Structure 1
Amino acid sequence: MDLPLLLTALVLGIVEGLTEFLPISSTGHLIVLGDLLGYNDDASKVFKIVIQLGAILAVCWDYRERLLHIAGTLTTERASQRFVGLLFVGFLPAAVLGLMFHATIKSLLFNPITVATALVIGGVVILYVEKRAYHPRIHAVDAMRWSDALKVGFAQALAMIPGTSRSGATIMGGLIFGLSRKSAAEFSFFLAIPTMFAATVYDLYKNWALLRLEDLPVFAVGFVASFVAAMWAVRGFIKFISNHTFVGFAWYRIVFGLVVLATWYFGWVEWSEP
């Protein structure tokens, strides 16, 4: 058994779980850490899909009561039908644009330098959003209109650029379009379910030939670590934003991005480049 590889899987799984639903870009962190740890071969592509699945399932488990209620009343309750409709509308922009540009973006932008640049730019955007006058008109996901869901969906599509952060784009988009902090975060979590499931299924289909039985222990460690870390992060994040802004996340992004860019510029780390 390759203990160093299992340790790498544990670290990356924890990082995926902690960062997937925070506005700091899980994909960006995995690209940077994968490069540092030397885990960026073909097997790592499937591994990242597996640990992303672990993070999705953590959210499904955390919101299982509501999701089960919606599934059980989808044919009878207007509220459940409307909720699913909002998710579908919010999901459409990323689905359409993802099918159009997924391969191009992965081949050109999935590298630490692009990630670092997007982290810095995203941090600046968060600071700008937080400095605006904040007068939310929507305090619950159920109060959203179809147009609100579509706008947030287009914001989410920006996260196809690695380092942008899917949750960061949707939450900041939600704040700009009038959602409260809590409703923006919750809609981001719910919208992640169809979006990330679709991306996972698509990526597994594209990389099916890379699956190997001998990688199962590594994938299992990463999956469990991601599931547990994501569940902890989601619960903590909801509590945190009840009394705090996103400014701390913005400065974290900026500092992290600048550190990566500095190590590249001065040649301290030999990062993968486009």
Structure 2
Amino acid sequence: MSILDAIIIAIVEGLTEFLPISSTGHMVITSAILGIGDDEFTKLFEIVIQLGAILAVVVLYWKKFFVFDKNRIPFYIKLILATIPALILGFLFHHKIKDLMGSPMVVAASLFLGGIVLLFVDNWFTNPTIDKDEKVSNFRAIRIGFFQCLALIPGVSRSAASIIGGMQQKLTRNAAAEFSFFLAVPTMFAATCYDLYKSKDALANNTGNFQLLAIGFVIAFVVALIAIKFFIGVLKKYGFRVWGVYRILVGGAILAAMFMGYNLTVA
């Protein structure tokens, strides 16, 4: 992996992590287009830059996470409860998920089908009653957590799955999006730490590539900061249709390219 490759992948991660278009799917396709092998360091790099994206949420919403008082305890409990389903299923099917991550066909199909869903989401949930995370009950949080599990399939998008789950539980679009951002922190942090533990040998063997890891981390963090604010603005103005169209176009283009004989499989 060159410095340019690292910059490109980090930008892709930062842009897509909190948008409903699947960061994992975009990184798989980007790596395939760049011709980057699915080796230990590439996997480690993708894990590290996810930490940069997580940090962006913590910085933007630092009061939610670091103002410690009794009024914040229910908030922490909700996030923990909503995180548990994905952690359990992710642990049980870790190897299967990793295998699927190397399949551009799975990613493209998920992008395309998910795009069709996003075209109609705004029409499905038209009477929201919850506009703040304080009004989300523990049971609603758990249900949103089960929706998040759909994102264990590469290309589905953790953000899209949890936001749709939030809207299904009567949250407004903005409230669902913000709860999805909050939920990303414990979910992604736990998953990333687990992946780092599993990749400890790769980390020990790639200390010489620390520069690439540092560059990717910083770029993913900065780009994610911008992407989160951009997403909220677009969501307020256009809803989910624009993201649905995007997913259909990208997923359809990848499927068409593969059917025409282009090899996008990660080597």
User: Which TM-score applies when normalising by structure 1?
Assistant: 0.93
Residue identity matched to 1:236: F
Structure 2 counterpart of 1:116 = 108
Greater mean deviation of Cα atoms: 20-29 or 106-115: 106-115
Residue type matched to 1:128 in 2? F
Q: Deviations over 1:178-204 (max 9, x none)?
A: 110111000000000000000110000
Task: Supply the RMSD in Å over aligned alpha carbons.
Answer: 1.4
Amino acid at match of 1:87: L
Candidates 29, 45, 53, aligned match of 2:43: 45
Q: 1:260 aligned to 2:262? A: no
Q: Given the alignment, which residue of 154, 157, 172 partners 1:162?
A: 154
Which of residues 137, 141, 156 is equivalent to 1:149? 141
- Hey, which bits of structure 1, 4+ residues long, moved more than 4 A? none
Map 1:7-22 to 2 at 5 A.
Answer: 7-22=4-19
Q: Distance in 2 between matches of 1:105 and 1:224?
A: 27
Which residue matches 1:229?
223
Could you tell me how far apart the structure 1 residues matched to 2:126 and 2:174 are? 13
Partner of 1:193: 185
Is 1:270 the equivalent of 2:263? yes
> Counterpart in 1 of 2:117?
125
Q: Is the 8 A contact 1:56 1:192 kept in 2?
A: yes
| CA distance in structure 2 between the aligned counterparts of 1:29 and 1:253, rounded to whole angstroms | 11
Aligned-pair distance for 1:41? 2.1
Confirm or deny: 8 A CA contact 1:117 1:257 kept in the other structure: yes
In structure 2, distance between residues paired with 1:188 and 1:87: 10
Residue by residue over 1:52-89, the C-alpha shift from the partner in whole angstroms, topping out at 9 and shown as x without a partner, is: 010001111111122111xx21xxx1x31111111011
Aligned amino acid, residue 158 of structure 2: R
1:231 to 1:179, Cα distance in 2 relative to 1, 3 A = same
Question: Letter of the aligned partner of 1:54 in structure 2?
Answer: G
Instruction: State the identity as a percent.
Output: 44
How far apart, in 2, do the equivalents of 1:47 and 1:258 lie?
28
Aligned-pair distance for 1:236?
1.8
Q: Are 1:55 and 2:53 matched, yes or no?
A: yes
Distance in 1, Cα, partners of 2:266 & 2:40: 17
CA distance in structure 1 between the aligned counterparts of 2:149 and 2:158, rounded to whole angstroms: 8
CA distance in 2, matches of 1:9, 1:133: 39
2:235 pairs, out of 241, 244, 247, with 241
CA distance in 1, matches of 2:15, 2:100: 26
Q: Could you tell me how far 1:109 is from its partner in structure 2?
A: 4.7
* TM-score normalized with structure 2 length: 0.95
> Does residue 1:5 correspond to 2:15, yes or no?
no
Once residues 266 and 211 of structure 2 are traced to their aligned partners in structure 1, the CA distance between those partners, rounded to angstroms, is: 30
Greater CA deviation, 238-247 or 169-178?
A: 238-247
Equivalent-residue separation in structure 2 for 1:106 and 1:155 (angstroms): 20
Report if the CA contact (8 A) 1:113-1:273 is conserved: no
Give the Å deviation of 1:110. Answer: 3.1
Report the count of equivalent residues: 264
Structure 1 alignment gaps of length 5 or more: none
- The residue identity in structure 1 corresponding to 2:250 is F
Greater Cα shift, 223-232 or 98-107: 98-107
Corresponding residue SS for 2:154: coil
